[in-house]
């Protein structure tokens, strides 16, 4: 399985949780810290991201960037 990783642009995240629900590998969660707007940004808390970008596709604020490793 391809390895992927995400970068959350925390200043845009509004912790709506749509990406957490959309992730097929369940590697996302709402974090404990707060951003400048007072929302708790989402974070990847464990290994297992496959770079499918379902989180980014469902993000209303375009706050997730997705990368995938390639041979």
Partner 1 sequence: MSEITVYERPKTWTPDVSSHYCPGCGHGIAHRLVCESIDELGIQNDTIGLAPVGCAAMIYDYIETDFCEAPHGRAPAVATGIKTVRPDKIVFTYQGDGDLASIGMGEIVHAANRGMNLTVIFINNAIYGMTGGQMAPTTLIGQKATTCPLGRDVAVSGYPIRVSEMLATLPAPGYITRVTLSQPKYIIKAKQAIKKAFQNQMEGKGFSLVEVLSTCPTNWGLRPVEAFQWLMDEMVPYYPLGTFKDFE
Residues of this chain that interact with partner 1 (CB under 8 A) are: 4, 9, 11-12, 14-18, 21-22, 37, 39, 51-54, 56-62, 64-71
Tally of CB atoms within 10 A around 27? 19
Q: Which is nearer to partner 1, 13 or 32 (CB)?
A: 13
Q: Which is nearer to partner 1, 45 or 60 (CB)?
A: 60
> How far, in Å, CA of 59 to CA of 71, rounded?
28
The minimum distance between CB 31 and partner 1, in angstroms, equals 15
> How far, in Å, CA of 58 to CA of 47, rounded?
21
The minimum distance between CB 16 and partner 1, in angstroms, equals 3
């Amino acid at each position: 399985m391809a390895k992927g990783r995400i970068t959350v642009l925390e200043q845009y995240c509004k912790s709506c949780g749509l990406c957490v629900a959309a992730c097929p590998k369940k590697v996302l969660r709402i974090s404990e810290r707060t951003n400048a707007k007072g929302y708790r940004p989402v974070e990847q808390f464990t290994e297992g991201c496959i770079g499918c970008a379902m989180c980014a596709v469902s993000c209303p604020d375009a706050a997730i960037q997705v990368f995938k490793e390639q041979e």
